[in-house]
Structures are given as structure tokens and as C-alpha cells.
Chains A and B, each alone.
Chain A
């Protein structure tokens, strides 16, 4: 069974440009999460999809971030326009069931560098 995959693994862009990150969850997992880790800090929750619907987007930092999940399969996270403070590692995770005890399966992350 394939795990959670993320693309690209690393992206370097200039301030003001646009970047789109992609996440493919484990097949059959209705729940998809995005997290971000800024250098040296904790991993922070961004948002949670259940199928194609946004269940919780309370962690999205501002309206420069747009997440979508087309058809309840893969998800994209677009940053437009990117700022220096957006640099960090963006993790995607998926889980089969909803509930606070269930394991979330993480992707390898996308390292975003904004210069």
C-alpha cells in the first residue's frame, strides 16, 4: 500500500511568487490534514478536509493560503503571493477514520524556501 506522497519535495521561490503544493493521501482515507513547521518551531495544524469539504481551517495563517481537495482525492495548497515567513516544511497527513485517537499517516513533507 502506497503511503502519503507529497510533491515537490523542495521548492525555492522568490517573494511575491506563487507556489502550489500537492498531497496524495493513502487511498480510501477520507481525512486529509495539512501542517506546517517553521524552522526550529513546533509543527502547526493548518486545516482538515473530510472528503472534499473543509472540516476545520482554523490554522490557516491568512488569505494568501488556499487549500483545495478535488473530488475528495488529492489536495493542493497554494500560497499566493508568497512571503518570507511562509518558509518552512509543509506536511500532509491522512487518516481513515475521524476521531482524536486515530493515527494520522504523514507524508515526507515539502520544504518551501521563500527568498
Chain B
């Protein structure tokens, strides 16, 4: 079964602080991509960061970085120097040989001024 688990339904962080969102997944595939998508309030979902499972080096995109632990099937997202614009719903997802994405239930992140 292809599943994604996000165990934190809601989180909050003070502006300028660092927060980590957790994600675990399950797949029997050897190669796949992992993604974090962000959906700000009343806006569409956008890609934050992606990681290929064969790459050992963790992906980074400015203030966003991941901690990818393949053996543990864990893919957490770290947001550094949190900004008010980071307030959003964050979805962890992966895709395998098929083209569709498997998503988690999401984590609602609130950045507090």
C-alpha cells in the first residue's frame, strides 16, 4: 500500500523561529520522488521542495530544507526564519512510477507575529 502519514494536524511557530513538520510514508517501490506542497489560505497549492529517493543529499530551497531518512521512510520539512507568509496547510506527497501523487492529510501551520 502507498500511504503518507502526517502526524501533526496543527502546529504553530513564532515569527523568525524554526519549525519542523514530520512526514512518514510507505511504499515498496525503490525509486520515487518526495514532495512538500504548501496551500496558503484561499490560494492554490504550490510546490515547496522535492527530493529524489536515490539522492542521499537533502534538498534545500532557501529557508526550506528536508531531512530525508530513506531507511526509516521519513521526510520531514524544516522551515527556518519563519515568516508570516509561511502560514499555510502543508502536504507531504510522493510519486512512484505512476504519475499520480500520494498525499498525507496535511499539517496546518500558523506563524505567530
Contacts and interface: CB of A to CB of B under 8 A. Distances in A.
A56 interface: yes
Question: A31, A33, A95, A100 — which one has the most chain B CB atoms within 10 A of its CB?
Answer: A100
A40 B107 CA distance: 10
B100 A59 contact: yes
Nearest to B52: A101
A106 interface: yes
A48 B52 CA distance: 22
Given A56-B99, A106-B37, A100 B32 contact: yes
A42 B4 contact: yes
Interface residues of A, number: 27
A56 B98 CA distance: 9
A41 B103 CA distance: 10
Contact of A33 (B47, B100, B105): B100
B99 A43 contact: no
Contact of B99 (A4, A42, A98, A106): A98
Interface in A83-110: 91, 95, 98-101, 103-104, 106-109
A94 to B, nearest CB: 12
B14 to A, nearest CB: 27
Contacts of A95: 99
A106 B45 contact: yes
B50 A100 contact: no
Contact of A45 (B32, B42, B101, B105): B101
Contacts of B95: 100-101
A108 B44 contact: yes
Nearest to B95: A100
Contacts of B42: 108
Q: Which 7 A-B pairs have the closest CB atoms?
A: A45-B100, A43-B103, A100-B95, A106-B45, A108-B44, A101-B33, A42-B105
21 contacts: A31-B99, A42-B103, A42-B104, A42-B105, A43-B93, A43-B103, A45-B101, A55-B99, A56-B98, A56-B99, A56-B100, A100-B33, A100-B95, A100-B96, A100-B97, A100-B98, A104-B47, A106-B44, A107-B44, A108-B42, A108-B43
